């Protein structure tokens, strides 16, 4: 009984370690991106440098993302924000903008369906609407992602 409980604790610790590793790797990618786009005009066409607050907000967002959710890909945006993209295919994707404000702009394509919206991020919890949209992009025919 004790040995079973100990195994469960070890398993949980190992899982946490691997998840932490995944988030740590994503945060490293974010920092590399911010470094690549640290100067005004990084796109050769007047783009703003990645704003330090946008970088911090993006890190907070990743830390707040439930562990059952896949990590996004990142891309710089010309206004100094960072795009977090969940791309299932070119017909099914969710793209979120993290800038220097606490409001997140997002848009999605899901087959013939598409849309956009804005949600407030308090730095601690990912807005439910955002989680729900990411979930719907990845859930077609797959086991559902757990929000909590």
User: Looking at the chain, how many residues does it have?
Assistant: 148
Min dist CB 114 to another protein, Å, is 6
Q: Which span (13-21, 57-65, 114-122, 133-141) binds another protein, by CB under 8 A?
A: 114-122
The answer to whether residue 49 forms part of the interface with another protein (CB under 8 A) is no
User: Which residue of 14, 36, 39, 67 would you call a contact of another protein, by CB under 8 A?
Assistant: 36
User: Which residue of 50, 106, 127, 133 would you call a contact of another protein, by CB under 8 A?
Assistant: 106
Q: Tell me the CA distances in angstroms from 64 to 3, 6, 44, 58, 148, one per residue in order.
A: 33, 28, 34, 10, 11
Min dist CB 139 to another protein, Å, is 19
Backbone angles phi, psi at 73, to 5 degrees: -95, 165
How far apart CA 77 and CA 73 sit, in angstroms, is: 13
The answer to whether residue 114 forms part of the interface with another protein (CB under 8 A) is yes
Token couple for 135 = 């979930």
Q: DSSP class of residue 14?
A: H
Please check whether residue 107 is in contact with residue 115, taking contact to mean a CB–CB distance below 8 angstroms. yes
**What residues line the site for another protein (CB under 8 A)?**
33, 36-37, 42-48, 73-79, 81, 83, 85, 87, 89-91, 93, 95, 97, 99, 101, 103-109, 114-118
């Amino acid at each position: 009984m004790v040995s079973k409980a100990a195994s469960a604790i070890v398993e949980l610790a190992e899982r946490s370690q691997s998840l932490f590793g995944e988030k740590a790797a994503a945060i490293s990618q974010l920092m590399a991106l911010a470094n690549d786009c640290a100067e005004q005009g990084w796109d050769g066409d007047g783009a703003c440098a990645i704003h330090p607050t946008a970088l911090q907000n993006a890190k907070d967002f990743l830390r707040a993302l439930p562990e059952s959710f896949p990590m996004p890909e990142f891309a710089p945006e010309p206004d100094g924000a960072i795009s977090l993209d969940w791309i299932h295919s070119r017909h099914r994707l969710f793209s979120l903008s993290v800038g220097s404000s606490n409001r997140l702009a997002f848009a999605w394509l899901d087959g013939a369906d598409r849309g956009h919206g804005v949600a407030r991020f308090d730095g601690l919890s990912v807005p439910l609407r955002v989680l729900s949209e990411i979930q719907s992009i990845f859930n077609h025919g797959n086991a559902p992602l757990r929000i909590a």
